[in-house]
Amino acid sequence: MHEIKDITIIGGGPTGLFASFYAGMRGATAQIVDTLPQLGGQLTALYPEKYIFDVAGFAKILAKDLVRDLTEQAAQFNFPSYLGQHVQALEEEDGHFVIVTDTDRFPTRSVLIAAGIGAFSPDATCSSSSVLSRGALYGALRIREPPSPRRQRGGQRLITVNR
Ligand SMILES: Cc1cc2nc3c(=O)[nH]c(=O)nc-3n(C[C@H](O)[C@H](O)[C@H](O)COP(=O)(O)OP(=O)(O)OC[C@H]3O[C@@H](n4cnc5c(N)ncnc54)[C@H](O)[C@@H]3O)c2cc1C
């Protein structure tokens, strides 16, 4: 069981990151719990190398740079982020809530759901082992890297884009 916090934020995307910062600004304690292994939500998982043109104060900014700055801003308050933790249930216990993941229990006085479009998982087509065994990757985290010879099987490259 973890230490109780004022606010537990489900989701470490841009909404959850800014919520974490703002909790600190208001003197509350907070923590983020996210299914993914890294912060940033859709920006990190789906389009880190894409420019965003509609964030106030920036003519344009790469998604990964916005996540970097949001993370730095939130880090001022040293709140923990628990990654790779999929929230399964919300319980009540002794007058507070408990957020339950696969492995942990997070006691909290309030819950902020910043889960966006939900947790990501491979779709049925891409889950097929025949595709995975041929070098399929999820996400676009390495879009600017030149493809390694290992990924250029038979001179063919496959990109699928889903939402
Ligand atoms: C290709 C693409 C391009 C886009 N371009 C733009 C753009 O240019 N400008 C713009 O304004 N918007 C754009 N968007 C939309 C923008 O990305 C979303 O509006 C934004 O990511 C929402 O942020 P969020 O923090 O609310 O949710 P998300 O980014 O979806 O983050 C939610 C987080 O919650 C986590 N989560 C969900 N369920 C659970 C659970 N049960 N347990 C634990 N964690 C959980 C997820 O893992 C995820 O990390 C684009 C979207 C896509 C797909």
Stated pTM of the model: 0.84
- Among 42, 55, 121, which is best to mutate for testing ligand 1, by the most ligand atoms less than 8 A from CB? 42
Mean pLDDT along residues 16-38: 98
Alpha helices by DSSP H, listed for 47-152, are 63-75, 124-127, 129-132
Per-residue confidence (pLDDT) for residue 163, from 0 to 100: 46
Nearest Cα residue to atom 41 of ligand 1: 87
117 versus 64: the higher-pLDDT residue is 64
What pLDDT, in 10s, does the model give residues 63-108?
999 999 999 999 999 999 999 999 999 999 999 999 999 999 999 9
Mean pLDDT of 9-38: 98
The domains located in the chain, with CATH, are: 5-113 (3.50.50.60), 124-155 (no CATH)
CB 13 within 8 A of CB 113: no
DSSP 8-state class, residue 37: S
